[in-house]
Amino acid sequence: MTDQLRTQALDWQLYEQAKNYALDYMQTVLDRPVFPEAEAIINLAAFREKLPDQPVDPYRVLEKLHQFGSPATVAQTGGRYFGFVNGGIVPTALAAKWLVDAWDQNAGLYVMSPVVSVLEEVCEKWLVDLLDLPQNTAAGFVSGTSTASLCGLVAGRDYLLRKNGWDVSSRGLFGAPEIRVVLGAGAHSTVYKALSILGLGKDRLIQVPTDEQGRMRADLLPELDSNTLLILQAGNVNSGAFDPFVEICSKARAADAWVHIDGAFGLWAAASPRLKHLTAGIELADSWSVDAHKTLNAPYDSGLILCRHRDALTQALHMTGSYIIYSENRDGMLYSPDMSRRARAVELWATLMALGRFGVAALIEELQQKAVYFADCLRQAGFTVLNEVCFNQVLVSSGDSAQTKELLKLIQASGECWCGGASWHGNDVIRISVCSYRTTRQDIDRSVQAFVAARLVL
């Protein structure tokens, strides 16, 4: 079997076939239904088969993937996908991803891949500068904000306990001093998940009420102290609203509390001169989580944990072993929970190189402008927009909750565009996330027509 695999590794036509299938997909994605048609879903049954006893011809494997897999994908790399804050892929980054996949580097240690170590170091410096964060802020390259938030919160938990003379790594949490967790009522579900994993259960959390846009009410913030873990938002998952960081973070700094900012898609506003006011005060926080695969349009599986206390992050995530070879260079596993992981920082480097500082700002600003345009067009068509479109999120209603839910089903089934649903102040709404550089005003016009056509059916 190994001889057969070695032979396949040198079969250049196999890779040529994969390239041709990929190019075919890229050339047709703009014309595909945004959500796969019923026939494509039914045809996925072709994959539900018994594991073959003998090796299958690799050309047949690729052919099957393209024949049955490609039609059943969601065309989120096109211009009319507005669900789940999923970004597109910057072309240079996609091309780099193909090359990096051929490298198949393990990014855990410098001795495993010097090039990845150096590019992680470079990206870290670029990100700190781009987002105007404190110097020496550390960056860890993880799968997404879910993991990034976990890293930031474990660093904060351990840091606060260490100040009280308690070492979690050796003594665990049994009998540990109590940590107060304060967060907004609109905090993302991944934050609650991370807190649960860390043993900071939801029944003991202090939820601060939010205003009509989902921003934490600074005037209702409880008294903070040096045992407080405070979690803020840069971009409410529904409305896109930003917490008032200057006022809240100033209080937290004075109390010596740890502040973590969940900025999955919104933190990138800091890179825009026009939108930077939304993130004023984030530099006062201790840790930040953000996704590059959302607003920045890097390839998927590209999350970031940023922490101003480098030692706190590495102490929380450190591991040892006689076989582990640390170096004087950057060893990536010190900044993330996993050891073996792919070289995702290379694609981020390619994305930042392709855009440059001004390109990043232009991309972020264009997404916000298109979200405003989308909202304006929907209002003109008779729909109700429920939020202040400060960033890239638009919340839409069409009458009562029942009518809005039915409208959403029709829009999703149309294949013209795809939006998600959410609950906002107790009512069902349609949630639009403008995240892809591929989206044009023509795409938005076409999508608005899909809204109008669906309403006519009701």
CATH code of residue 109? 3.40.640.10
Torsions phi, psi for 186 (to 5 deg): -100, 20
Q: How far is CA 143 from CA 81, 173, 268, in A?
A: 22, 27, 17
82 within a domain of the structure (yes/no) = no
91 within a domain of the structure (yes/no) = no
Pair 55, 160 in one domain: no
The residue out of 293, 321, 352 marking a domain boundary is 352
Pair 296, 419 in one domain: no
Give the Cα separation of 439 and 454 in Å (integer). Answer: 21
* Ordered strands of the 138-142 beta sheet: 138-142, 303-307, 287-291, 258-262, 228-233, 180-184, 206-208
**pLDDT value, residue 246:** 98
pTM of the model: 0.96
| pLDDT band, very low/low/confident/very high, at 163 (cuts 50, 70, 90) | very high
> Are the CB atoms for 275 and 365 separated by under 8 Å?
yes
Pair 173, 293 in one domain: yes
Pair 371, 321 in one domain: no
**pLDDT value, residue 7:** 84
Pair 282, 403 in one domain: no
> Are the CB atoms for 127 and 304 separated by under 8 Å?
yes
User: CB neighbours of 270 closer than 8 A, spacing ≥ 6?
Assistant: 130, 131, 132, 276, 279, 282
Pair 7, 140 in one domain: no
196 within a domain of the structure (yes/no) = yes
User: CB neighbours of 224 closer than 8 A, spacing ≥ 6?
Assistant: 182, 230, 251, 252, 255, 257
Identify the domain containing residue 442 by its residue range.
Answer: 361-457
Question: pLDDT (tens digit, 9 = 90+) per residue, 65-75?
Answer: 999 999 999 99
The residue out of 302, 317, 352 marking a domain boundary is 352
Question: pLDDT (tens digit, 9 = 90+) per residue, 4-27?
Answer: 868 887 889 999 999 999 999 999
Question: pLDDT (tens digit, 9 = 90+) per residue, 257-269?
Answer: 999 999 999 999 9
249 within a domain of the structure (yes/no) = yes
Domain count, the chain: 3
Pair 345, 367 in one domain: no
Of residues 102, 141, 105, the one with CA closest to residue 121? 141
81 within a domain of the structure (yes/no) = no
Pair 226, 104 in one domain: yes
| pLDDT band, very low/low/confident/very high, at 190 (cuts 50, 70, 90) | very high
Angle at 448 between CA 443 and CA 451, to 5 degrees: 130
Residue whose structure tokens are 């994993």: 197
| pLDDT band, very low/low/confident/very high, at 2 (cuts 50, 70, 90) | confident
294 within a domain of the structure (yes/no) = yes
